Structure 1
Amino acid sequence: MDTPMLKQYREIKEKYKDYIVFFRLGDFYEMFFDDAHIAARELEIALTSRDPENRVPMAGVPYHAADQYIYKLISKGYKVVICEQVEDPKQAKGIVKREVVKIITPGTITEISALEEKKNNYLVCIYRENNDFGIAATDLMTGEFLTTEIHCAYPYQELLDELSKLEPRECLVNAGFLQDTFLNKAVNTNFNILLTFKENDYFQAESARELLMSQFSGNELEDIFKRPFATIASGACLNYLRETQRLSLSHINSIRYYERTEYMALDVTCRRNLELTQSLMDGKKQGSLLWVLDKTVTSMGGRTLRKWIEQPLIDIIKIKERQDAVEELYQNYFLRQELREQLKNLYDLERLTGKLVCGNLNARDLLAIKNTVKHFPKIKELLAGCRSKLLITLYNELDLLNDVYELLEKAINDDPPISVKEGGIIKDGFDSEVDRLRKASTEGKSWIAELERKERERTGIKSLKVGYNKVFGYYIEITKANLSLVPKDYIRKQTLANGERFITEELKEYESLIMGAEEKLLDLEYQIFCKIREDLITKITRLKKSAQVVSVLDALVSLAEVASSNNYVKPELTLNDEINIVEGRHPVVELTLKDEMFIPNDTHINCSDSMISIITGPNMAGKSTYMRQVALIVLMAQIGSFVPAKSAQIGIVDRIFTRIGASDNLASGQSTFMVEMTEVANILKHATPKSLLILDEIGRGTSTYDGLSIAWAVIEYIHKNIKAKTLFATHYHEITQLKKLKGVKNFKVMVKERGEDIIFLRKIVPGEADRSYGIEVAKLAGLPKSVILRAQEILKDLEQNDGARAREPQIAATKDTPFDDVQLNIESLKNEQVIRMIKELDINTITPLEALNLLYSIKQKII
């Protein structure tokens, strides 16, 4: 039978079945039953039993060190409930009252040390109704709150693209989402996200409107309420935050609806292939575009720059504002370095405002706020002479927060303890009552130190000492050898193994004075700390605004610093469809090359006479690097960055699509070829004339003829139906015949042959590669010599027999032929396949049944 305590635990656990309950028992948080087994396994702590008879599993952690254990569980995808004692055990009648005071989930972490410094920790709410989606995203610690809707023919892909941009730790979803097995599988396969399900009553329009109106002002809500799905998602998201934090969340004081068309659209595949924020090799920052561009010196600036990379702009006015600011900082070396020196001293003011409201702020955090604000006047002074529009705006919007600095400078000690209830927080002179109590406590302690000297003289006991502990208070300790010398006015208080402890009436009086003063002082200091915290909460909007200003400034300074260090140039942004790059370079590859120099290349593409560039050449020659660098240069230009080139003219693109490399998705039952075809299908469905398409080796995952046919048809479709700027790398030399189409041009990677060896020159020039050099590449890769020699023999034999015809299918077209008549002669390909099948037939070993099957197969191919 359960004890009263276990009964209390079960009642709480019943309400939080999907959570691990941290149940406060004295100085420990204990977990029981299944929670104990999970905690013991995941935290590597001892599994014990509270009730040996009933064998109740139990595991616990010290309350003062609980955070490290909690966040270890959170990092593994668990959710934690904190159940505290809410009354003094000494005054409790019966079992101590306990309540859930906080819920911690991956999307609601409030401990800065548990978060990645330069990355937002988003909680996302997804409300699905048929093929319509409402999305809300919030970062609890910075107070950012965003919302949007998805209504389109292919909403699943759009949703996955949005999640790939936000990279949330946790998603709140409704039944409409959870019941869609395909959608669930897609999310689980592509992202490491905890899905938290809520019933339909959590997603109600009326309650959502009420919640939002209680949190945000009416003006900014007018636009939100016009969008019912965004309203419902935002309301549910806010409700979840209040439910988990049990706070007013006053730092979440603005909400913004954004149209996804405000930014360049980048799908999951494109972000991965271009390695925007993490490398393909190991998923780390190093080797990514973010790694190159991020020279920010604050966490706030790092998060801002990451957002810019994740969502490039398409508004040319906003892009040029950023460009001009970067240019001014780029040209003024001393201004840039002085700003960096000031910014280096700033703490994470955005997240400190989150701690301020969430209740886990301490006195050292107040010092961090003070020491951050302290540098604002100098930063503003440095910006005073700037001329670019964005830097002038930052100058005007930077609130110096002098009142905040003065308050904290006068009130908070320069070296306070971590705990806010230990005292030592408030400076002398800030509060007269604190000064009085502190003096009483200090003088009392001085009196006690003097008492020890006097009593040694009076009693003649040189080993006499005056001590203190929390249980017995102050005492005079005498060893056994000296008990005969104890004066008559000493009152026995405690007997020890080696002596005894005493007290006097006079010591009692001073103990009362000291203890009373110290207790009152601790309470008063905590009260003053709370008042200061409440005062700062009223200034939260100003604090957040200044934090935003310095985060943008840090990101701009970073882009200028990188441009200067890496020899980048300011690109010219236009509204036409031309992309002209002179001596472009790959921003990541050029920094990782150690033993060789990066070879730059030119690019000229548009939507008319240079629409599709077909690029041929051997593997490892640099085709993929070249195409990626074009995409990255365009993307960098549209975030306002300078670019790695001698000069660049960039026509704004609405989307970048990439189909690069070979990968499979076996978890969802898709082969390499299926993944490739799915990605190509997505591109052909969504691309527009203003898009940039990067296609590498389309059709390589199937037979030669199938692959060639698909690649050929894809180019024709892009040329006729989409008319988008396209870079198309291929090993199918037959495709170069499409140069007869207007706007299709052939390019090749230059290769120099030296005997049987080849040297990759990495230079893209007009023309067609004469062969693939596959065997030479295999030789460079280290294949055994015998394999290389045999491969050369086989290749020679194939070329002599039917290689020429296989590589040159018939094209029923001339320069004057209309587009619809330009196509691959499929009949010719079928005939080639039949001829090959007959040639490979060994009539001496074939059985009658096999012959019949072969004949049937040949008949099917030529019908």
Structure 2
Amino acid sequence: MTFIAEPITRNAEVLTAVQLATEESRATATPMMEQYIEIKANNPDSLLFYRMGDFYELFFQDAVEAARALGITLTKRGQHLGQEIPMCGVPVHAADDYLQKLIGLGFRVAVCEQVEDPAEAKKRGSKSVVKRDVVRLVTPGTITEDKLLSPSESNYLMALARIRGSSEPAIALAWIDISTGVFRLAETTETRLLADILRIEPRELILADTVFHDPQMRPVIDILGRVAVPQPSVLFDSATAENRVTRYYGVKTLDGFGSFSRAELAAASAAISYVEKTQFSERPPLGTPERESAASTLFIDPATRANLELVKTQSGDRNGTLLKALDRTVTGGGARLLAERLMSPLTDPERINARLDSITALSDQPAFCSDLRSALKHVPDMPRALSRLSLGRGGPRDLGAILAGCQAAAEIAGLLGSGNLSEELAASLRALNALPGELVQKLATLLGDELPLLKRDGGFLRDGASLELDEMRALRDQSRRVIAGLQLNYAEETGIKSLKIKYNNVLGYFIEVTQGNAGPMTEGTEARARFIHRQTMANAMRFTTTELSDLETKIANAADRALSIELEAFERMTAAVVAEAEAIKAAALALAVVDVSAALATLAEEQAYCRPHVDQSKMFSIDGGRHPVVEQALRRQSGMAFVANTCDLSPHDGEGDGAIWLLTGPNMGGKSTFLRQNALIAIMAQMGSFVPAASAHIGIVDRLFSRVGASDDLARGRSTFMVEMVETAAILNQATDRSLVILDEIGRGTATFDGLSIAWAAVEHLHEANRCRGLFATHFHELTVLSEKLARLSNATMRVKEWHGDVIFLHEVGPGAADRSYGIQVARLAGLPASVVARAKDVLAKLEDADRKNPASQLIDDLPLFQVAIRREEHAKPGPSKVEEALKSLNPDDMTPREAMDALYALKKQLAG
């Protein structure tokens, strides 16, 4: 999803259209422009593609914006209210290409077509305008065309509903992919709202205009940018929501679908209403709403998603991401399912192990797995073809995709029947076997081998599918030979060897000769009676004959009847396909599951991944772990092997809370890579994939936090250090004893002692309050003394070797603490002038000598453990009163008489209160 970090403003055309729609404006507008103004006023937030012949034209501010966005010429057409009217246009046959660019930029487009025959308009008078109306709203979240969609990415429309309550408001999300029929719901909270939205990555998010303009929502809206689109609040009315949903599905109650909250129903109703609004009379084949529990997926906050680069890098590229490194799928549905699993890892060990069982089954049968992947390569995108057919936008090739998909499904079902299957693969086999054979037989009997893109072109029914069609085709095709023979006869009769019989949409069939050769056809009464003059051109004359006109009528009728027969057959085939929509979607999902399982099995074999042991414990033991993205990049670029490392954050003796590693070592030593690889391994394990390690035992992680790297957020007035502190605060406030926390260089963005103090307190809080598993990388070597007092804290370091004044990074992690950061050596490697490096060494030596006078090791005795250790005992025994707490904070030796008197009065006031 492309986020444009700018606030949404309603289309500038809104006010213009309202102004133009006044009576004064209409009085000065041409009839066509008056029609345009009226239609535009009804669609103020969309660019209006106004059909004029073979072009879609845009006027006024729409033209200005479209010309700038598309890089096309901006022209003018007449004047209105004393000003020239800007205009630009795009050819109808190339409209999809232009729509793709506009949708990618976040625009919405109203497609306005001619809805009557121009001949009918002329009957009302010479100045009558052909009736036009908007037949479809094209928005980023409601597109279905192949050209506008990425095969490997879902295209979600999301609705956000918020219901004010007596305490915290209830918030729910509903997301729909009308190109595949996926429909899901989930409740969320204000704190995790953005994380849940980014997990789904909607192309378009609709929400009530009151919510959109709520200052509390501004941080979320600013990040989403043009993805967020305000809608009238009535669309989210929870009182009528259930009725809207039941009406759409044609049921009396939703009890058969499950139990939903008011907020979930409001979100579902809004999503359905928006689909109906944009698709007009057409209904996409949406599946029944599936409810997702927040606890069923691994919570990954927005900052963590960004710096782990799961599906896109910091620069927005897909290369260099975890998804790119894992993807070995061969179908569009499989690629989308893999991305969905990666973005929403599970927290249920049973479901995770069911997925791992499928990979194991296929890994144990490599030849079987290879045969499946070969068959899967022939599977087209059935869900998207089905959606287009249901919406009346499908063509013969979509019917062909359904047929090819069903035939491939039958082949794959046969293969699956011969293998040893996991329960998940066995369920897929049952879904494939449920495809209706009658439908496949019908499509195979009727559809030809070479299918046109558009049904209006005809030629998609095979010979023998219809006797009447065969007759019409024979007449049409034989008539071409008759025309050629007639041309030869006329040429011999007149002696004009260059005589041609041609055809156009205005004259139909006609005889054409040059003016110099026209004598035999114009001289004499008999010649003029036989060859009827039709048209004189600059260098040619055109004629017809009674014989030619009669033949043209027969040909025209035959061609029209042949096309009519094919169109009728197309509608019958489409109806038959749509009637089996549920079975087709279930089979398509089954094929996607098989594809993902086979792809991950292939990946595991190719990259030597192991099956992780996933359970409900708090274990986190990874032996010989590698970074999946970096390892593949190293192999491609230089053939080098990745240095594997072990990470063990498991509880002592397997019981209690997990451990925290305090990781020190030089820059460029590999700390950030080590931190990220363990986070990625946790995600891969819980999405149901083998992992890059010799072995891995991972107890379920409920929340994953990773803060590696830093950048500012100038748009929101935040410095790099402020962003760091905000993200750190979110982690310390939300992490639980089942979470995995990865922090890098906390406190480095401010003064040394400030940063050290913050990092010190953060480590204590993670240990005593959050009690989570964690990796904490730092250059504050003073923190290593905390391992003496914090039982679950261990020191680890990135190993280096010095050789003749140079530092060699081994990229190995081992126990212990680094004695220095080797920053000056890294600076020298970066190319700093030799004089600067030498001076830095002198300054460092003096600073280190000065620092020895106040060793940091004294801090561990001078500073008590963070007060959270006391707070954890609050539930076990009554806590001190406010007065006792205030007394404990006083130090009489440091107070002046006046300060002591003020403190005494303050204590008395607290007692009186």
TM-score (norm 1): 0.91
Residues 610 and 745 in structure 1, CA contact (< 8 A), matched pair in contact too: no
Q: CA deviation at 1:304?
A: 0.2
Residue 727 of structure 1 corresponds to 775
Residue 69 of structure 2 corresponds to 42
Residue 220 of structure 2 corresponds to 186
Q: CA deviation at 1:235?
A: 0.4
Identity of paired residues, percent?
A: 39
Q: How does 1:422-441 map to 2 (within 5 A)?
A: 422-441=457-476
Q: Provide closer, same or farther for how the CA distance between residues 500 and 768 of structure 1 changes in structure 2, counting only shifts above 3 A.
A: closer
- Structure 1 counterpart of 2:335, from 288, 299, 302: 302
Q: Deviations over 1:66-109 (max 9, x none)?
A: 22222222222211101111110111222211111000111111
Q: Provide closer, same or farther for how the CA distance between residues 126 and 815 of structure 1 changes in structure 2, counting only shifts above 3 A.
A: closer
Q: Secondary structure at the match of 2:460?
A: coil
Residue 554 of structure 2 corresponds to 513
Q: Secondary structure at the match of 1:51?
A: strand
Where does structure 1 lack aligned partners over 5 or more consecutive residues? 823-863
Residues 386 and 392 in structure 1, CA contact (< 8 A), matched pair in contact too: no
Q: Deviations over 1:671-691 (max 9, x none)?
A: 111111111111112111111
Residue 268 of structure 1 corresponds to 302
Q: How does 1:688-707 map to 2 (within 5 A)?
A: 688-707=736-755
Residues 713 and 720 in structure 2, CA contact (< 8 A), matched pair in contact too: yes
Residues 246 and 253 in structure 2, CA contact (< 8 A), matched pair in contact too: no
Q: Provide closer, same or farther for how the CA distance between residues 586 and 213 of structure 1 changes in structure 2, counting only shifts above 3 A.
A: same
Residues 734 and 809 in structure 1, CA contact (< 8 A), matched pair in contact too: no
Q: Higher mean Cα deviation, 234-243 or 30-39?
A: 30-39
Residue 264 of structure 2 corresponds to 230
2:405 is the alignment partner of 1:372 = yes
Q: CA deviation at 1:132?
A: 2.5
Q: CA deviation at 1:208?
A: 1.8
Q: Secondary structure at the match of 1:249?
A: coil
Residue 365 of structure 2 corresponds to 332
Q: Deviations over 1:166-223 (max 9, x none)?
A: 111211111342122342233323x354222112222112332122102235675566
Q: How does 1:42-81 map to 2 (within 5 A)?
A: 42-51=69-78, 54=82, 55-81=84-110
Residue 803 of structure 2 corresponds to 754
Q: CA deviation at 1:591?
A: 1.3
Q: Provide closer, same or farther for how the CA distance between residues 368 and 544 of structure 1 changes in structure 2, counting only shifts above 3 A.
A: same
Q: CA deviation at 1:803?
A: 4.3
Q: Provide closer, same or farther for how the CA distance between residues 334 and 400 of structure 1 changes in structure 2, counting only shifts above 3 A.
A: farther
1:306 aligned partner, one-letter code: A
Q: CA deviation at 1:52?
A: 5.3
2:545 aligned partner, one-letter code: T
Distance in 2 between residues matched to 1:383 and 1:82, nearest whole Å: 46
Distance in 2 between residues matched to 1:327 and 1:389, nearest whole Å: 12
2:814 is the alignment partner of 1:765 = yes
Distance in 2 between residues matched to 1:284 and 1:557, nearest whole Å: 26
Q: Provide closer, same or farther for how the CA distance between residues 359 and 609 of structure 1 changes in structure 2, counting only shifts above 3 A.
A: closer
Distance in 2 between residues matched to 1:401 and 1:778, nearest whole Å: 69
Q: Secondary structure at the match of 1:421?
A: helix
Residues 215 and 253 in structure 1, CA contact (< 8 A), matched pair in contact too: no
Residue 285 of structure 2 corresponds to 251
2:187 is the alignment partner of 1:139 = no
Residue 26 of structure 1 corresponds to 53
Q: Secondary structure at the match of 1:188?
A: helix
Residue 861 of structure 1 corresponds to none
Q: Provide closer, same or farther for how the CA distance between residues 221 and 683 of structure 1 changes in structure 2, counting only shifts above 3 A.
A: farther
Q: Secondary structure at the match of 1:613?
A: strand
Q: Higher mean Cα deviation, 405-414 or 374-383?
A: 405-414
Residues 148 and 230 in structure 1, CA contact (< 8 A), matched pair in contact too: yes
Q: Provide closer, same or farther for how the CA distance between residues 535 and 234 of structure 1 changes in structure 2, counting only shifts above 3 A.
A: same
Q: How does 1:425-464 map to 2 (within 5 A)?
A: 425-464=460-499
1:178 aligned partner, one-letter code: F
Q: Secondary structure at the match of 2:410?
A: helix
Residues 220 and 256 in structure 1, CA contact (< 8 A), matched pair in contact too: no
Residue 374 of structure 2 corresponds to 341
Q: Provide closer, same or farther for how the CA distance between residues 73 and 249 of structure 1 changes in structure 2, counting only shifts above 3 A.
A: same
Q: Deviations over 1:34-60 (max 9, x none)?
A: 112112222222222222585222222
2:196 is the alignment partner of 1:162 = yes
Distance in 2 between residues matched to 1:269 and 1:107, nearest whole Å: 25
Q: CA deviation at 1:551?
A: 0.8
2:228 is the alignment partner of 1:195 = yes
Q: Provide closer, same or farther for how the CA distance between residues 250 and 815 of structure 1 changes in structure 2, counting only shifts above 3 A.
A: closer
Residue 826 of structure 2 corresponds to 777
2:843 is the alignment partner of 1:798 = no
2:187 aligned partner, one-letter code: E
Residue 37 of structure 2 corresponds to 10
Q: Higher mean Cα deviation, 679-688 or 430-439?
A: 430-439
Q: Provide closer, same or farther for how the CA distance between residues 150 and 443 of structure 1 changes in structure 2, counting only shifts above 3 A.
A: same
2:661 aligned partner, one-letter code: S
Residues 174 and 267 in structure 2, CA contact (< 8 A), matched pair in contact too: yes
Q: Provide closer, same or farther for how the CA distance between residues 321 and 757 of structure 1 changes in structure 2, counting only shifts above 3 A.
A: same
Q: CA deviation at 1:401?
A: 4.2
Distance in 1 between residues matched to 2:30 and 2:344, nearest whole Å: 56
Distance in 2 between residues matched to 1:580 and 1:371, nearest whole Å: 46
TM-score (norm 2): 0.86
- Structure 2 counterpart of 1:602, from 646, 649, 661: 646
Distance in 1 between residues matched to 2:253 and 2:338, nearest whole Å: 29
2:625 is the alignment partner of 1:584 = yes
2:249 is the alignment partner of 1:211 = no
1:665 aligned partner, one-letter code: D
2:266 aligned partner, one-letter code: I
Q: Provide closer, same or farther for how the CA distance between residues 478 and 585 of structure 1 changes in structure 2, counting only shifts above 3 A.
A: closer
Q: Higher mean Cα deviation, 286-295 or 610-619?
A: 610-619
2:812 aligned partner, one-letter code: K
Q: Secondary structure at the match of 1:812?
A: helix
Distance in 2 between residues matched to 1:323 and 1:123, nearest whole Å: 31
- Structure 1 counterpart of 2:320, from 273, 287, 310: 287
2:487 aligned partner, one-letter code: E
Q: Secondary structure at the match of 1:751?
A: strand
Residue 491 of structure 1 corresponds to 532
- Structure 2 counterpart of 1:714, from 741, 762, 765: 762
Q: CA deviation at 1:481?
A: 4.1
Q: Provide closer, same or farther for how the CA distance between residues 821 and 528 of structure 1 changes in structure 2, counting only shifts above 3 A.
A: closer
2:95 aligned partner, one-letter code: A
